[in-house]
Amino acid sequence: MATPETRVVSVQRLNEGPGSRSLAEWWADEKKLQTPEAKAIEEAAQILRSSDIPVAFPTETVYGLGADATRSASVQGIYRAKQRPSDNPLIVHVDSLDMLNRLLNPTPTPRTPSSPSSTKTPRISIPEIYEPLLERFWPGPLTIILPNPSGSELAPEVTSNLTTFGVRMPSSALARLLIHATDRPLAAPSANASTKPSPTTAQHVYHDLHDRIELILDGGRSGVGVESTVVDGLCQPPAILRPGGIGIEELRTCPGWENVIVAYNDGTLDVKEIPRAPGMKYRHYSPKARVVLFEADSHFAGVVRHVQKDLQDTAIGAHTVGIIRTRNWPQGLGLASADVLASTMRPVSSAIENLHSFPVPVHETGSPSSRTKMAFDYHLGSETGAIAHGLFAALRALDELDVDVIYVEGISDRDGDLAAAVMNRLRKAAGAEMKV
């Protein structure tokens, strides 16, 4: 297959949404006016319906890599583009409850005159346990686990041969419009190369997947910054399989979910286990650099000693380092005095406001003289929302600077549900997790 030339097309105006119109009315108006955005959506929809090459598009969480969830060849295109393990299930995205109900009740294959008659298959409904969640959180960053019906229209590659599938309705009006225009449910994991940090901009997608896909719809920066929460209401008690944009305390306010439990592991599953949801089995969200995560209650002096030791140890090979700060670490992590920082710290890029560089004098082990190494300081802010929103961008920015190791200041899991989601992603990114 020829390598596609990847194009990035702006559809940011569509983030305004349909207003009081339905999706169908909005789409009809856009097509009638032949807006540039309508042409881009129509091209994307045509690729999704007829090609085996996926399309990248924005959602409110992160950018997704979409393919027609009903065609095996199309879904296989996701695995090829991402180089993703095939036993990692995909989340299905729908534009409406009507589309979901059609998935749950696939049209039966017509009987031939010689085939035996059968009783009519009872209609399958969304389990009642989910009704309060859908009423409150859909459209939104919540994925629910449902039984995959007999005669399912979903390609087997979507479910990785599980008897269930995960589905969500994104709150991004742009994403729902694309699904509506395609008239297909879309399987859509994050639009990054497998194991790499999830993309929150079209430029992140291009960096990972250029020459692997044809089209990236640019809707601007994603809002939430971490993926959807995945919940399973088919078990008792109901469980959270992946933390995300909807937190456990929010879920517990819904009838039937008062005793919801956490069923995910911040590590990885055993190699023989089949994950019940994406992100459960493999190391994920990882840049090229080694990532060292320090727990929130680590002693600052111990953190500094550890970083200085890494810089001094020639065996580690840390010639450039990145520092991702959140709530308590000072600028520069104490690796240089305030006077030195004031005179040497420089912004790295006008496009990234909180990223700065500064030199660090280091006396390496076994060396009689000192040398200067470069450090990069990235401050995410102290608010959990800002930390979640900027996390993947920070990892990517430092990776593009080819740092050797990234030190991250963790936040407490007890600081709220979004904080738990942030730490889940960081633990999956980290090659080492430390408390000093």
Residues of each annotated binding site for L-threonine = 61, 93, 168, 188, 228
Give bridge partners of residue 242 from the DSSP assignment: 230
Burial 103-124 (b: 16+ CB within 10 A, else e): bbbbeeeeeeeeeeeeeeeeee
Binding-site residues, in ranges, read: 61, 84, 88, 93, 164, 168, 188, 190, 198, 228, 242, 285
Nearest Cα residue to 226 out of 193, 198, 187 = 198
Q: Are 52 and 44 in contact, with CB atoms under 8 Å apart?
A: no
Residue 5 burial class via C-beta count within 10 angstroms: exposed 0-12, middle 13-18, buried 19 and up: exposed
Q: Are 130 and 144 in contact, with CB atoms under 8 Å apart?
A: yes
Q: Are 100 and 127 in contact, with CB atoms under 8 Å apart?
A: no
Cα separation, 87 vs 83, whole angstroms: 12
Give bridge partners of residue 146 from the DSSP assignment: 165
What type of residue sits at position 27? W
Binding-site residues for ATP, in ranges, read: 84, 88, 164, 190, 198, 242, 285
